[in-house]
Structure 1
Amino acid sequence: MHKVVVPKRSGIHRFACLALYRALLRKCSRLPLTVASPVSVKFLVQYKFRRCRNIQSPSQVINALQAGYEAVDLLHSTSQGNESEIYRLQTLLSEGRSLRLLNASEHRELTNARCNKPLSALDKKKAESRRYQRATAYRHPNAQPILSRPRPVVSGRRRVPVLVSARGVPFLRIKKPQPKILSDVIRTKLDKRWNRILLRDRLQAELLLAKDEDDWDGLVGDETLPSWTSEIRVALEEVIEKIQGSDQKNKELAEAMWNVVLSERKLAEEEAERRGLEIQPQSFTNPYGTFDAATMPTANDEIN
């Protein structure tokens, strides 16, 4: 069997095509402005080479190379002022422009006449999800703080929110799907806490090295040098304080949100009794348990 040679992976073929490409570009730059626009001819050359770069058929490769060599001769004759070749080049450019316009108009007509395929249930669900994400990407101008609940009067049946813990960040879920701005806020808080934990671990590792440096300074008897561990300890204490402060804020926010859930639940039961209905038993579990300092994440705990 003959060895199969892919033209675009052949060094000889690539060298010949690149040499032809450079020759055509050089000829384009030498065209007089009165004959044709060098920019349009250069764009046409680049477009043709991009279209033909994946050709593998030997006959098509030969035809494309022959067309390229004829174009080099045509451009050379045009740059020398040959009247017949100038007319031929202008005719080819005008015909190519009209053909592109005709193809574009036909393509638009076919696109407009094509029947739109009905979306499946999954595609409709994805489109609706994308639309909802775009609509909830920014805060609504009339949005009220979540801690302003419970609302004394609501239209329809009252929705009791659910307290959810997103890896330590509390929030109240009213309904699904979740707004995009809420997801972005939670992700930002989690990333900030995780970056502080990574910084804390790096400072703790550097603190061990700084202690070794201080021990070495003590051995050589140079007491005039500043301590290596002092600045690292200060930075480490600042990071731990920020982590503990954010955890304390999350704890206080979770307590306030849990009170909102209890108030909403009480109002929902009262409204159900007024309607003469029995409210369905629901399980309102506090994801944080009892609000004790021992149950909250600390600065020494890592996010799993």
Structure 2
Amino acid sequence: MPKFVVPRRSGAHRVAAIALYRALLTQCAAPSLPLADDQRAGLRNIVRNKFRRNRHVHSSRLLKLAFTTGYELLDTLDRASLSATEHADASAQEAATLLTSLLISAPPHLTGPPRRKPGLKRLDPSPEACPPPEQTVLALRPRPLSELGGTGIRQVPHLFSANLFPVLRIGKPQPRSLSRVLTDKVKQRQRRLNVREKSEDEWAELGKLEDEWDRIVSEVCGVKDLDTYDVQTGDTADGVANGRGGNGAFHGVSWASEPLRFVRMINTQLTTQKAETERTVKRMQEIVDQEAELAYKEREARNAVRRQKNLEERRENDVDEILGTKDTKKDRPI
């Protein structure tokens, strides 16, 4: 094999190595081999670990030693398999003894199973990723007392406005997903406002000038007016009259009408967003009210338990004071 060829990329080398590997594993599992099941498994692990360790070896000298050792082990396994038969001789017994001593002297990292490559790690969702709809704050709140973590004392969330967008603050620090959503909403609203302002102040005025120019060209040069053009179908009044299709819904189209259409579209989007914001505010306020009511009831329950406990301790101290079995000055609660 040429020196410039990497052995593990050579077809001949791979065929020889795989053939030896399969022969060794097959012979290690032979029923006639005088070894216990755990010894067979240890011997197979030695073969697997050795081949795995030498798979990147490029030295001809080391590869020759590895192949020689592998074939010698294969011959030893063949002789040891004959030790339990009628034709067993001294060499077969020596081979079986050699395998047993080999397993005893082998280090644990060879007799153990090969380490598997670590699989793909399960990546946690990005901190900026929004939770699924069924796990949002609006869907989970208010939570029952059994699901409260930490001290178990309910903290009432706080409703505030972040650039005119409602936010229900549960705790600090603020989640990165919430910060990203607020930033995107603010940028989206600002883009819409910028387009609406530019459409009203700049594009509409330019459209009026274009309409005036079309009127002048129509009067001076006799160019047909565009009032007979249907925007949706692309037909003209002449085409419909000649039987070329169309729906007859022809209306005047001007350069100034398109910016105004943008304005109406953006106003509709802003109105829809405002209505959605109002619904969200109502839902958040309901959560705050429910959380506050539950917090009040839980606080009253804790106070009742505390008062009952103090009353029992005071009763015990009074009994001890009457019986004289306890130092009242030291044990009476303050």
TM range (shorter): 0.3 to 0.5
Normalising to structure 1: TM-score of the pair? 0.40
Normalising to structure 2: TM-score of the pair? 0.36
Q: Is the radius of gyration larger for structure 1 or structure 2? A: 2
